[in-house]
Every structure is written in structure tokens, then in C-alpha cells.
Amino acid sequence: MKPAKKVDDPKELERLYAEEVLKVSEFYKKNKIYAFCDPTDNQRLMEKALGEKIWTPPNPKQRELIEGWKDPTKKVFTLTGGNRLGKTVCGVVISIATMMGKWPWDDVPIYFPHKRARRIRYVGSGWESHIKAVVIPALKQWWPANRPVETKKNNQGVEAIWKDRVTGSTLEIMSTSQQSDVYEGWDGDLVVYDEPPPRDIRVACARGLIDRQGREFFVATLLKEAWLSREVIKARLTNGQVDRSVFNVVGETYDNLGFGLTREGIDQFEKTLRPDEIEARLRGKPSYLSSLVCPRFDRDMHVKERFKIPLDWLITISIDFHPSRKWAITFMATAKNNFKYICDEIWEHGNPKYIAEEIIRRVKQNNYRVEKCVIDPLAKGDGNNDQTVYEIVGDTLASYNISLETASKDKDNGIAILNNLLWTENAMPGLFYFSDCIKSIEQTEDWIYDPETFKPSKEDDDFVETIYRLALLNTEWYPPTIYDVSNQKSMIL
């Protein structure tokens, strides 16, 4: 082979360089995904010579998500935030890279626990409004022209099956308008949810990830589907600890400023929004947060590790009675400084005598100094038995010197007092939760106002009912008397 001819003419060199720049530009225009990275110094000179941008690096939030993806211990990913943050682009780029088995821009392999072709599901919302209008154009824009792909249309005329002919990996596009049973019987490596799916669809898809140790990726503006924020973004283990396999990235529309968006465009969009919509659509704050009953609750601030309750602290107990469901019983401790702690909970099925005995066992095991116990007023309304629930529970507790009273029904005032305890007028918490009181924590955090009735939701409200009734008692600490001490000794015996 003859060596390349040396060119000394500056004009010829300039012409050849311009020709090379054009070739590079044409390649990246047709294979955009290879340019989803920061350009090198030489590549920046090429852009300058061409007079236009060739490389399209990820914005800061997209970059953060991709870096997190490289950690094999992370299994669930979320990229949530304002409109036009670049969430769909990230979902599509991650999908294509997974099919290729590597990051296209630097040829670095992506870890998989197996050697098989990857199987991906991309779940959008409406076929016409979202999948045809947004998802398919994005896939076509980012799929590299130099990589052969087969597509197959479904009954809606959508190219719903994509197959990478190099790796054999497939991507199946589905719509949340399909019934959840259509999602069953599948196994794969990745599910991308472009906007929040109904919970039953998420469960059906997640089941199919078990065999391949697959991953989930949620890209969404959190306007609806509050469960996604509670169960995925704030996921907890059974012991109440943060689930470290979840990787969350939250961004604002402004994070995409200079990466495809202009200040003028964002400002114009903001003019069309109400104040509450600005928080969700531009700043990425979940809409449902505005309907929380206890918005002041914060796990990081209110949840404490368990410690031994001092013997002179006062304990009040609240019982939420259910004839056919589990009973909810909450124990609240009042300290000398009148700070309060949700220190114990019972969540069990059982008849009234059994439940009362469980309360007594808990009291004896922990040497609790019990001030009083209150129960749902409905416990007095059982006229089908010789004894009401109230009487059975009351008699059983009384034999161990625990008095039983009916709880107040003043829910509105109880909620107000509860929120005042969560954040006092001294700008600090006055109520804390032991970390193993899992149901109490979950329900305080998740309790919302019903959007139709504008009243606190009746769903999953068992423990918050008991807690606000304890708050209504306004218990204040006082020192034990001689009777209290002797009474405690008899309880221990």
C-alpha cells in the first residue's frame, strides 16, 4: 500500500479539514446517540469550524442518572421533575444502550448478570397522544442509522416491536390503556415507564424482572399516581430503613436550560400555569403533596431509633376498633419536657379479650407507666352480643389497673393539634416516632385529603386515627406518686 501523499499546501489542508468536518457532522447527525457526551478539545474545534453544535451532552440531571446506572446494586431508578427536563430522551437513550449492551458514546459495556439478548419494555400512556406523538419520534431520532434494526407494527399501526439485529435484543412498546393482565407472563431486563403507570401495571411488569434480575426506570412529571412517590421514590425496607437499591434524581425544567431550552421559552410556558401547576410542571414537586394531611412530617427529622423509655414517662394508649379487620393500637410516651414519642404499635387480628391481653403484655414487658387508654366510640355500639367490645376490653384492662375511656371524635381539632406537635411554635418537632413503628410512620406520611370530599381519606387511616386521638388528650407529664410506684410493682408481678 502506498503511503498517503503529504500535503503541504495550506489551502489544500484547509479544504481537506473542512471536508473531514463535514463527514463527521453528517455521521453524528445520523447517529446522534454517539454524540450524547462532552466533546473533546479537537471536537470543539470541529464544531467551531462548522459553526454549529454536533455533540449534545446530557444535562446535569441526565448525567447524574447515567452515572448512577453504572452501579450494579441499584435496581430501581427514577428521573422526575418538570416538563421538558429531558426525561423521555433519557428513557430512550437508556433503552437503546441496554439493547446494544454498552454506552454508545464511549463503547464501555453495561453490566448484565447474564449473556443473553436483552428484553426491554417501554410503557407509555395513550397510543396516539403520547406513544405516536412522543415516544416513537424519540426512538427514531436516537436510534443510530449505522445499526440495523427491525420494527413491527401492532394493531394500532404503531411500530411497537424493535429488534437490534446485532445483539438480538428487543424493545416492546406498551400503553397504560391496556389492561394489566396483558402485562403478565413476561420476563425481561428493563422496564421504562414514561409517565407514571397505574400501580397494578407496575406490579405485573416487576414480576417479569425477577428471573433476569432486571431494572425499572420511571421518568415522570408527578401530577397524579401519588403511590409512585410513596412506594418507589420513598421506598423503605420492611424494617423501615431506606431502600438503597433505589436511585432517585429530581430535576426542574430549568436544569435543561442551555441543553435545548431557552429562558424565553420557559418564561412563556410559565405564563400559562397556575401557581400549583408551576410547582409540579416546572419545579418537579409532586402535586399530591399539596393534599397531605400532615405536610410537616419528615422522616429524617421525626423518626428516631428505639431507646428504653424511662420508667417515669407517661404512656397513653389509643385503640382503633375493627370487627373484621386488624386492630390498630398506638402507644404514645410523654417525656418530662412533654415531648412525645410514638413508642409502640400493635397491628393484629383478634377478639376483644385477646387484643386487650396483648396490650397488657406490651405494658408489662416494657414496664410502661400507663396514664389512660382510649378506644374508638364505635366499640360501644355492638348490640348483638351480651357484652359490647368496649365492656370486654375495659374489663380486661381494668383487672390490671388500666382505665379505658371512649376517644374523642373531634377529628379536625385532633389533626390541627397533631400538626402543631409535628412542628411546634418554637420551630422544632414536639412529636417523634420510633423507627420500628412502621405503620404509624407510613400512614402519617401518606395520609391525604380525598380530592372529591376534601376530607381526610378513609383509606389506610387506622393509625393516624389513633394518633390524632392521643394528641387530643394533651397529656402533660407529672412525677409518679407512691401509688404509681406500688401500682407499677403489682403490674410487674
> Is 284 a residue whose pLDDT tops 60?
yes
Average pLDDT of the segment spanning 170-192: 94
> Is 490 a residue whose pLDDT tops 60?
no
Q: Side-chain half-sphere of 113: how many Cα atoms within 13 Å? A: 14
pLDDT band at 491 (very low <50, low <70, confident <90, very high): low
Average pLDDT of the segment spanning 228-236: 84
Q: What percent of the chain has pLDDT over 90?
A: 63
> Is 281 a residue whose pLDDT tops 90?
no
pLDDT score recorded for residue 484: 62
pLDDT score recorded for residue 222: 77
> Is 8 a residue whose pLDDT tops 80?
no
> Is 161 a residue whose pLDDT tops 70?
yes
Note the pLDDT tens digit of each residue in 9-24: 677 667 777 788 888 8
> Is 466 a residue whose pLDDT tops 90?
yes
pLDDT score recorded for residue 441: 92
Cell of residue 6, nine digits: 503529504
The pairing of strands 170-175 and 159-164 is antiparallel
Average pLDDT of the segment spanning 299-306: 91
Query: Can you name the CATH fold of 60-288?
Result: Rossmann fold (3.40.50)
Average pLDDT of the segment spanning 116-136: 95
- Secondary structure class of 121 (helix, strand, coil): strand
The string of DSSP codes covering 240-295 is S-B-TTEEEEEE-GGGGBTTTB-HHHHHHHHTTS-HHHHHHHTT---GGGGGBS-T
> Is 6 a residue whose pLDDT tops 90?
no
pLDDT band at 224 (very low <50, low <70, confident <90, very high): low
In this structure, what are the phi and psi dihedrals at residue 337, rounded to the nearest 5 degrees?
-85, 5
Average pLDDT, the chain: 89
pLDDT score recorded for residue 246: 95
Q: Which residues contact 248 (CB under 8 A, 6 or more apart)?
A: 77, 78, 80, 233
Q: Which residues contact 264 (CB under 8 A, 6 or more apart)?
A: none
> Is 211 a residue whose pLDDT tops 60?
yes
Query: Treating both helix axes as pointing N-terminal to C-terminal, what angle do 41-50 and 10-30 enclose, rounded to 10 degrees?
Result: 100
Q: Determine the Cα angle at 442 with ends 439 and 443, to 5°.
A: 85
CATH code of the domain made up of 299-492: 3.30.420.280
> Is 2 a residue whose pLDDT tops 60?
no
pLDDT band at 154 (very low <50, low <70, confident <90, very high): very high
- The rounded distance, in Å, linking the Cα atoms of 101 and 107 is 9
The pairing of strands 119-124 and 190-194 is parallel
Range in 49-58, 69-78, 331-340, 465-474 the model is least confident about = 49-58
pLDDT score recorded for residue 396: 96
> CA separation (Å) from 239 to 92, 235, 242, 354?
35, 11, 9, 26
Note the pLDDT tens digit of each residue in 365-384: 999 999 999 999 988 875 55
Q: What percent of the chain has pLDDT over 70?
A: 91
> Is 122 a residue whose pLDDT tops 90?
yes
* DSSP state letter for 319: E
Note the pLDDT tens digit of each residue in 314-348: 999 999 988 778 999 999 999 999 999 999 999 99
pLDDT score recorded for residue 13: 63
Range in 45-54, 175-184, 200-209, 410-419 the model is least confident about = 45-54
> Is 5 a residue whose pLDDT tops 80?
no
Note the pLDDT tens digit of each residue in 69-101: 999 999 999 998 878 889 999 999 999 999 999
Cell 412498546 locates to: 173
- Burial degree of 280 (CB within 10 A; 0-12, 13-18, 19+): buried
pLDDT band at 1 (very low <50, low <70, confident <90, very high): very low
pLDDT score recorded for residue 227: 78
Q: Which residues contact 404 (CB under 8 A, 6 or more apart)?
A: 372, 373, 374, 375, 390, 393, 394, 397, 398
Cell of residue 33, nine digits: 446517540
pTM score over 0.75: no
The string of DSSP codes covering 184-200 is -S---SEEEEESPPPHH
pLDDT band at 489 (very low <50, low <70, confident <90, very high): low
Q: Where are the domains of the chain?
A: 10-50, 60-288, 299-492
How far does Cα 47 stand from its chain's mean position?
Answer: 41
Stronger pLDDT, 487 or 137, i.e. the higher one: 137
> Is 62 a residue whose pLDDT tops 90?
yes
Instruction: Give the total residue count for the chain.
Output: 493
